[in-house]
Structure formats: structure tokens, C-alpha cells
Chains A and B, each alone.
Chain A
């Protein structure tokens, strides 16, 4: 690839691999193709459309809630879902559903982003909070149990909170912004922890079909880096800080391992 860039600099005439018209603006992380911005938007959106259609994720007329945290994945998800819904006539009623865990300095800021998204994308927003549902905020929970295993509590509470919020909105389905990197980390995590039950479920694109609200992950095959690239070029408004408790999470270990492997290749 460095050789490619040198050749491009020398020749000065290298064009986008896909359209052969415009100058390339980026190297696509998934395929390492050098493509222009517009082609990147097209392939990114088209691949997600193919995943949605190929896996029969939605039916026309369904009410779908988008799990929105204000982070890059959910912002891009909200943007792309509304765009594809309009472009390909999915016929979906889209909503934003956000969870307030009560983490000061993190969640209170990201919720502001989601409120802006509500205005920017024109999607109705519902916020459910741990305090209202359970009488506890994550800060209070961490004070009691400490910094190990708090993510497990948060995860379990969040899933139920999303179910409750989805029931309130009377939606048929929930979509979340879990991307390929997340799923790779989850697979490794479950092997390391010996969680065989989760291991057999974690790669399904749709889960909880036998539960109250089925959830699906349209970004299952999308690289995190490409999501960031998309958000960057489209100048989407998102909140880019990580949860303040995440440095202690065991998932961080799996994440580091995968990043090291990618660096080696």
C-alpha cells in the first residue's frame, strides 16, 4: 500500500478504483481499495442495505426502535437507517430509544447528543433511565460493588431497559449498532470466560426472537473503522468519549488483543 501511494504520487493520475473518475480520498479498511468519498458512501450504504435485505431483517410497516447512545455507532446507524428507509422504501416507522444509566460525566453528555439527533434526523426519542426503572444509577451500583463486574450489571439492566422502552414505544423490533469488531471481541471474550451458552448465540444477526422484542444488528459485517470514517466524512454529530468505567472491563483485553493482531498484519 505504501508502494501504491508512492506510485500515485509519482504518476499523479491514480483514480478511484470504483468509479475511475474522481481522485481517491481514502483507503477502505475492509478491502484496502483506494476510493473517492462518494464511492465510499455508496459501498458503505449498499453493503448495509444488502445485509438488511439478505437477512430479511425487516418487514414493511414495522415499528423499529434504534438503540441510540449518542456514540458513533448509533449515530451512524440512525443516519443510515433513515437514509436507506427513504431510499429503498423499507416502509419502517423509526424511533430513537436511549438509556440513561446515570453515569455522571459520561451519560449526561451523550444524552445531549441524542437529543440533537432527534432534531437532526426527525426521529421521535424516548429516554429510559435506570433510576426510574430500578431505583439505582450505575454510579450508585459501582459504589457498592466496586469496579469489577459492574459492566455485567449494566449490561443486564440495559437489556431490560431497552425491552421496557421498546414496549412503551410499541415497537416490533430493536436495532443496535454492534459492529464486526464488537462481535469479534465478544467471541473471544466468551471463549476466554468459558461462556458456552453465549458463545453459541453471540454471532446471530437477530437475537431474542423468542423473547419480548427481537433485536438485530445491521452493522454485523461493518468494520468499526469504516463507521468512524463515514461519521467523519459526513460530519455527523456524535459523542466520542468512552464510558468512564470501561478501562476496567475485561472486554478491553480482547479488544487490545485484536488490535495487536490487526497491527501485525
Chain B
């Protein structure tokens, strides 16, 4: 695992960056007081090439003033590779889908996954027995233009650019999927986009709208991954985004499910989700995109929504303000939240495939969580898939009061408060607007049996609400 200690004497890459952060005496913006350790005009690591910032008129700060482009790149790729190998995120038998938004983090994730695949391909071609297959890679983009006010041409252009980016990352060739959140609806007709728009419009709370879109985005990715035979889903979630999520979840009171969202591996989904860039900050990823000349065009989700999700923007601004004061704040936040006990699904499912090399299986067993170190959870919210405390069991009340009430009670308290409408009538309409596959997730398995049981004891029941609490 990456070492966070400033006293570590090993030559791991983390050590130098952390040591540099610790050696800066006062946390003032822009000053590089740790420079007494840096030789004038050469990279700290290789001591040969000039640092990244030296070419751009000098005055660079942080990593750009300390490392040359190659060492910086190697450092970042090292973090990515360590995350992948120590958590067995990608095995030779996997078919990996990379979620691509056109933004900085997902572009770097795509690039690094491609480079890893390329190396595996070279090794495969060089080996005599060809025993280790090369994992497959696909790319998926979620098109949310139906709920954003962007011109169709703008969307088309962005998609073409992404297609071109993906096609350049070959060999090996990667399939590019464009999926819309609206495709979650079963019917293939054109009204699915209207339904999606109405659904988002039915949520009053601004943060709720944003969150619902995010959840639907994940469901869409899961849909395209499972329909096309992918076995892992790679997201470009980085330290900075996770830090925002930690603060957001804290202020929303989502403490119980927070630890599930921030681990390297999240296997509660049908296609397990892995975060290989979890240890990299947005700043580092931006620098890499700049030095490698990647074209970045993030799909403008939030800026074009009818209502600006103030909550998210405010948290990002808060954290960037904090960063000025202390550059390692995001890592501190993620490290603190990392102390929460993870769930039993926060590890890659055990591999039982005989085709997978023994070394991979052994490595997975070494790093996987022992059962007593995790929380087990059986119930999940049908909207956001957060683990819910099992006391939210389906109500055993009269079947006349509502599958809609049952749906609402099976959701987590955050979704109940932010996303679901408060009154019965609106609730019925809201349920009719949700994609069927989401509503189906909440149906209690006992429904048929329950009716039958009720019939048998009907003559002894005194009122509609029974005593079960």
C-alpha cells in the first residue's frame, strides 16, 4: 500500500511528495519554502532534467517546480499501477469498461488503462506459451443532453471528438459506447427522454436533482457494462472528488453509507466498480493532461442544468479555498474518511476461475479484507444503491396502502428526504416516472406470500395496520 509516513526511509514515490508537503514551514499560497532541498533548476528525482515549470517562464509551484515531466508522469502512473495491482482491480481474464466523460480524471484513467493493456499485449506477444491473456478494454460515455440545455450539434461534436480520442488509443482496439440515462426505461420509444425530463423536474430539491442524475448515470453505466459482457467498471474518481463527496455526505448526514462509496473497490454493483485514481488529486491529473497535450472537454453536466446544483459547487469552492491554505487537505479528508469501517462488498469478489494465474489469486487474497473488518449489509436503496440499515424492512401493513409507501420506505433516508416527494399523490406520479428496473428493485419478495398469509388470518385482524413494527 502507498506509504503516507514522512519518516519512511524506503524509496517509494509517495515518500518524496509527502516529505515535500511536510517540509513547507508555513502554509502560504504560492511559496515554495521547501526549496532549500531542491537543487536549482533540476528535477528532484532524476536530478537531470529541468522541472516542468522551468519552461513556462518560471515561477511554478508545487510538483511542477520539483519534478520533470517524465518523473512526474512515472510517479502518477506508479500510483495508478499500485492501486490496480494491490487490489487486483484488473486481472487478465477481465473485460474492463472505462467510464469516460471527457474530463481530466477520466482521460487519464483511460490513458493509463490503455498503457497497461499495451504492455500486457507486448508481453503476450513476446511470451512463448501465451498463457496470460490480455484483458479487454471498452469505453462508455453517458449522454445526458436530454436533461441539459445544450445544442444537439454541440453534443455530436463532443461525441465525435471522444470517438477520435478512443480510436487513437489502439492497438488494442477499444469499443466506444454512447449510452443515455433515458435508455434505462424499458420501452424503446421516444417518450423515454420526456419521462426522464419529467422525472428530474419532479424533484424539488436542487441537490436532489443533481444526486438523482448521478445515480441514473451509474445505473446507465451498469446497464451498458452488463449488456456488453464487461466484468469491471473503471471510474476516474480522484482524491479531490472523493474529498468533496466526504464533505457532502457529512453535511447531508449520510454517515452510514459513506464508507461504501470511497473505497478502491465497490462490488455491490452487478459489475464491480474500481477507482484506480483514488490516490491522485485533480491538480496532478490536470498537470499530466497539460504536459501530455490531452484534449479535455468535460461534458458540461452541472453548468447546463436548468438549476445550478449549488451544493456541489459550494463544496468544490470550499475545498479549493482550503487547498490554498494547506495543499494536502484533500488527502487528509480522504484519509480520515478512510478510517471508517468498509462494507463486506468493498473488495473484489474472490476469483474462482481456473484460467486466472495463481499469482493473481494469491495477491488478491493477501490484500482483500478479512470478514471481521467489514460491515455486512443486506438491504440497498433502490435509487442510489446505498446500504441501508436493516430496520427499514418492508412494511407488513395492508396491501391497499401502497406499494408506493413501501417503495419510499425501502429507500435510504437521504433519498427519501432529497429526492422523493413528500405527499402520497406526487409519490404515485413519481414512481410512475422512475425507470421500471429501479422500482422493481424494491419489491419485497414476500408480496405473494404475504397476501396469502393475510387471507388466512384476516378474521382475527382488528384494524388495517397490524402490530408488527
| Chain A residues at the B interface, C-beta cutoff of 8 Å | 187-188, 190-196, 199, 253, 257-258, 260-261, 264
Q: A257 CA to B318 CA in the complex, in Å? A: 7
A199 and B251 within 8 A (CB): no
| B322 contact from A190, A194, A253, A258, Cβ within 8 A | A253
| A196 contact from B247, B251, B318, B336, Cβ within 8 A | B336
Interface band, chain B: 10 to 19
Task: Take A192-B332, A193-B332, A196-B339 as given contacts and tell me if A264 and B250 are in contact as well, using a CB distance cutoff of 8 Å.
Answer: no
| A194 contact from B250, B251, B318, B336, Cβ within 8 A | B336
Q: A196 CA to B332 CA in the complex, in Å? A: 10
| A258 contact from B251, B311, B332, B337, Cβ within 8 A | B251
Pairs of residues from A and B, 9 with the lowest C-beta to C-beta distance, nearest first: A194-B332, A194-B336, A196-B339, A264-B310, A191-B336, A257-B318, A261-B251, A196-B336, A194-B335
Let me know if B333 is at the binding interface, CB within 8 A: yes
**Can you pick out 7 interface pairs between chain A and chain B where the beta carbons lie within 8 Å of each other?**
A188-B247, A190-B336, A192-B332, A196-B339, A253-B322, A261-B314, A264-B311
B333 and A192 within 8 A (CB): yes
A264 and B332 within 8 A (CB): no
Q: How far is the CB of A72 from chain B (nearest CB, A)?
A: 24
Q: How far is the CB of B309 from chain A (nearest CB, A)?
A: 10
Q: A187 CA to B246 CA in the complex, in Å? A: 12
- Most B C-beta atoms less than 10 A away, residue of A187, A190, A192, A264: A192
Q: A196 CA to B336 CA in the complex, in Å? A: 6
B251 and A192 within 8 A (CB): no
Of chain B, the residue at the smallest CB distance from A264 is: B310
Let me know if B329 is at the binding interface, CB within 8 A: yes
Q: How far is the CB of B243 from chain A (nearest CB, A)?
A: 9
Of chain A, the residue at the smallest CB distance from B26 is: A148
Contact with A along B324-342 (1 / 0, CB 8 A): 0000010011011101000
Q: A193 CA to B310 CA in the complex, in Å? A: 24
Q: How far is the CB of B39 from chain A (nearest CB, A)?
A: 31
Q: A264 CA to B250 CA in the complex, in Å? A: 16
CB-CB under 8 A from A193, the residues of chain B are: 332
Of chain A, the residue at the smallest CB distance from B334 is: A194
CB-CB under 8 A from B332, the residues of chain A are: 192-194
Q: A172 CA to B57 CA in the complex, in Å? A: 67
CB-CB under 8 A from B337, the residues of chain A are: 191
Of chain B, the residue at the smallest CB distance from A261 is: B251
Q: How far is the CB of B94 from chain A (nearest CB, A)?
A: 34
B314 and A191 within 8 A (CB): no
Q: A227 CA to B329 CA in the complex, in Å? A: 33
A264 and B314 within 8 A (CB): yes
Q: A191 CA to B332 CA in the complex, in Å? A: 8
Q: How far is the CB of A111 from chain B (nearest CB, A)?
A: 34
Q: A210 CA to B452 CA in the complex, in Å? A: 55
B251 and A191 within 8 A (CB): no
- Most A C-beta atoms less than 10 A away, residue of B247, B314, B336: B336
A192 and B310 within 8 A (CB): no
Of chain A, the residue at the smallest CB distance from B332 is: A194
B333 and A191 within 8 A (CB): yes
CB-CB under 8 A from A188, the residues of chain B are: 247, 250-251
A261 and B311 within 8 A (CB): yes
CB-CB under 8 A from B310, the residues of chain A are: 264
Q: A139 CA to B318 CA in the complex, in Å? A: 31
Q: A258 CA to B247 CA in the complex, in Å? A: 11
Q: How far is the CB of A101 from chain B (nearest CB, A)?
A: 26
CB-CB under 8 A from A190, the residues of chain B are: 336
A191 and B339 within 8 A (CB): no
Q: Which parts of B227-249 form the interface with A (CB within 8 Å)?
A: 246-247
Q: A191 CA to B251 CA in the complex, in Å? A: 11
CB-CB under 8 A from B314, the residues of chain A are: 260-261, 264
CB-CB under 8 A from A187, the residues of chain B are: 250
Of chain A, the residue at the smallest CB distance from B318 is: A257
Q: How far is the CB of A27 from chain B (nearest CB, A)?
A: 19
Q: A199 CA to B339 CA in the complex, in Å? A: 11
Q: How far is the CB of B245 from chain A (nearest CB, A)?
A: 12
Q: A98 CA to B351 CA in the complex, in Å? A: 63
Q: How far is the CB of B256 from chain A (nearest CB, A)?
A: 14
Of chain B, the residue at the smallest CB distance from A196 is: B339
